[in-house]
Structure 1
């Protein structure tokens, strides 16, 4: 049963922040679990002896942090958290491609969730300056652009856009919606571009309105950005992948030598 304290009137912290803090603690300690309804506005007013606006300000703080969501006519609920996926370099190992598994499938098996990919689009475009520089292309060259959204147990956790030089993708399934077993990297290796190494640049920011809609994010929820460049054994850049990830859905794991 949910146990909430009382407001300390001698505290400099405004009452609404104290209420938000107690509800936040209840969520973090598991007294309120994902999907559970918070006490009603009337119940909180009665318990804390405050005005309606004070309770609403407290709930708004939690909503801005992405901890709760409001459902019209039903109330306020603890926001379900997406499954946590651990990003490790092992996901790109050749043995996974050889067994017909793309990186997202490998992560799914390790994390115990059901993977899904949707919103797949494939186009040909001129590269933007950043992509052209990373792929060592000229502005007149073309790239195949593959955009998609990844879901874990039905919840969006990531969007990804890959840029592959059109000369490498032409005549392969990279230009089709379904790339086949092993994904893009398997098709590149089938075409003779044996992968040798990857570089990743990781950042964090607030999402754009379009990203919020695609990832179904509440106000105040940040995203991670990971830009990966893949190189073959001839040190030729064969793909740039720009991903936007729900920050709370990921742990980043890197294994490197101390030498």
Structure 2
């Protein structure tokens, strides 16, 4: 099958499939140079735009990475293994003064583009947080990056009345992050609920995560509750599906 209207012509998906096969088989091992646009144009007999689209597909899948001034290479990248519920245990992460994501296995992301604002919540967020009409929320937005590639967008919502004046309203929340600050405020999260959904990205999400149109994202919505069952946070995480492995641990015991 090809993506060109003319029968018998090679399409960008055919080229991406061929290069992907070489990567998966080890013919193009991690760190090796991938044929560039000019090489692909010559080798497959296609237009430069077709060659560019083929490389874009592999970039969006996290298989290759472009290094400015050097070329394009097979990515030496270990997927981030997001282990639940271990990552939310206070003793393993935030309660010990560490960010939650330090419990994830694999390449550690760095945090970029942190924004903190006070806003009127959407109806779904207000409902989950059980807010009165007119109540506002503190919103924390940030991007997580690995090897200069954005892998996750995260947006967290907290009742303004609950966290006003705390470090949760600052760019740097301090050791242990927002959950440690909630505990200091007397609202320690002890129970969490996560909903996971796979969908196609919105345009803003696609651009922010540098995805192609046909790459899905993983949307995880987490709600944190106190021992009194009070919701204190809603967090929406948009994950590049090519960058993560989601692992869940549980037992058959009550």
Distance 1:154 1:46 in 2: 30
Q: Is the 8 A contact 2:65 2:75 kept in 1?
A: no
1:120 to 84, 96, 114: 114
Distance 2:249 2:195 in 1: 15
Could you tell me which residue of structure 1 aligns to residue 4 of structure 2? none
1:30 to 11, 26, 29: 26
1:60 to 53, 58, 66: 53
Q: Give, in angstroms, the shift of residue 134 of structure 1.
A: 0.8
Distance 1:99 1:73 in 2: 42
Could you tell me which residue of structure 1 aligns to residue 248 of structure 2? 254
Cα displacement string for residues 168-210 of structure 1 (whole angstroms, at most 9, x for unaligned residues) = 1112111111111100000001111122211111112222232
Aligned length: 241
Q: Is the 8 A contact 2:37 2:51 kept in 1?
A: no
Distance 2:103 2:14 in 1: 43
Q: Is the 8 A contact 2:34 2:74 kept in 1?
A: no
Distance 1:153 1:46 in 2: 30
- 5 Å matches for 1:1-259? 15-16=10-11, 19-34=15-30, 36-39=32-35, 51-53=45-47, 57=50, 60-61=53-54, 63-64=56-57, 66-67=60-61, 77-78=72-73, 80=75, 82-88=77-83, 89-95=85-91, 96-107=93-104, 110-111=105-106, 113-259=107-253
Tell which deviates more after alignment, 217-226 or 14-23: 14-23
Q: Is the 8 A contact 1:226 1:243 kept in 2?
A: yes
Tell which deviates more after alignment, 13-22 or 24-33: 13-22
What SS is found at the alignment partner of 1:253? strand
Q: Is the 8 A contact 1:83 1:152 kept in 2?
A: no
Tell which deviates more after alignment, 16-25 or 205-214: 16-25
Q: Give, in angstroms, the shift of residue 80 of structure 1.
A: 3.1
Relative to structure 1, is the Cα distance of residues 176 and 45 closer, same or farther in structure 2, using a 3 angstrom cutoff? closer
TM-score, scaled relative to structure 2:
0.80
Cα displacement string for residues 216-246 of structure 1 (whole angstroms, at most 9, x for unaligned residues) = 3344332111000000100000000011111
Could you tell me which residue of structure 1 aligns to residue 3 of structure 2? none
Q: Is the 8 A contact 1:116 1:154 kept in 2?
A: no
Structure 2 unaligned blocks of 5 or more: 1-6
Q: Is the 8 A contact 1:86 1:251 kept in 2?
A: yes
The 4+ residue runs of structure 1 with deviation greater than 6 A are: 69-75
Distance 1:141 1:31 in 2: 58
